[in-house]
Structure 1
């Protein structure tokens, strides 16, 4: 096989894959806190496993938690309700992981003073950031979505499975993965 011809593979994971469940829960916490305080600082990590969701990290925001770690009234209950609603929306309603019955642990605590000083040190508060990173990709002209064909097709397979599952197909569960491999010649996909 010449250098101008090669196989390229991409995979995609469904909304019920443990990594995506954890990301969705962390996003839910960030959204909840930003709705309370648009200037909130949130570093939320999530772990999920059989019948367990754990959130942990550092937070700061008006109406959420004071610097001594005391929660504002009702916030802990809002957090748990939001997490359970996210898991329900994903579709986990089976033995081993059900949105109503999993154990929930909240280990969020106030942002440390050292991190707060570092994050707020810049004159422009919109640019403050801790050690959290954002990943990015690239555009490709292989698909209308401007994504590499293997990734776009892999996503589309899982979107269709999610539509079927949310439409009532009982044989499908939330956790799935798809993988698509294409053969390229001269930089263009020519066959699967």
Structure 2
């Protein structure tokens, strides 16, 4: 079972050109503001405050690179959707994020985080659709599984995948996670290991 031994902050960048100049593979995480991204990253790495958690949406405002075991980068991207910032600021984040997603050669996969408590959200569907149209490899993670009854969570997942199936022939793989209960940690890290170290 893959375990992260060392995780440390490497660099923040406001433009894709300023990202680390190396050839290390990258796995990025993104989701709507306040989806529980920081908590998930802290759970996966086992470092309590690696990513700053906040109840205020829009905490992540830069492309944050964390060096994992000196072999790959975990990339924390700004959330999309609601955040208490001016429209011009949000537009800047959006451009920075899409520049990274579409231009960064090191990027191998994007994990898109979705709140399992919610019915399908237009913003999430649009974002995933754009990734698919641009050929960006992605997986889905339904977060906060401990905050919802199993049946309700499963219904929301079914509804979401159903909405995606209207435009997707092959649906993306998804994981269910809870940072509180460490649900999904083994499965997500197992997939990351397959992506980063395919020949081991």
The structure, 1 or 2, with the larger RCO (C-alpha pairs under 8 Å, 6+ apart) is 1
- For the pair shown, the structure with the greater C-alpha radius of gyration is 1
TM-score w.r.t. length of structure 1: 0.24
Higher strand share: 1
TM-score w.r.t. length of structure 2: 0.23
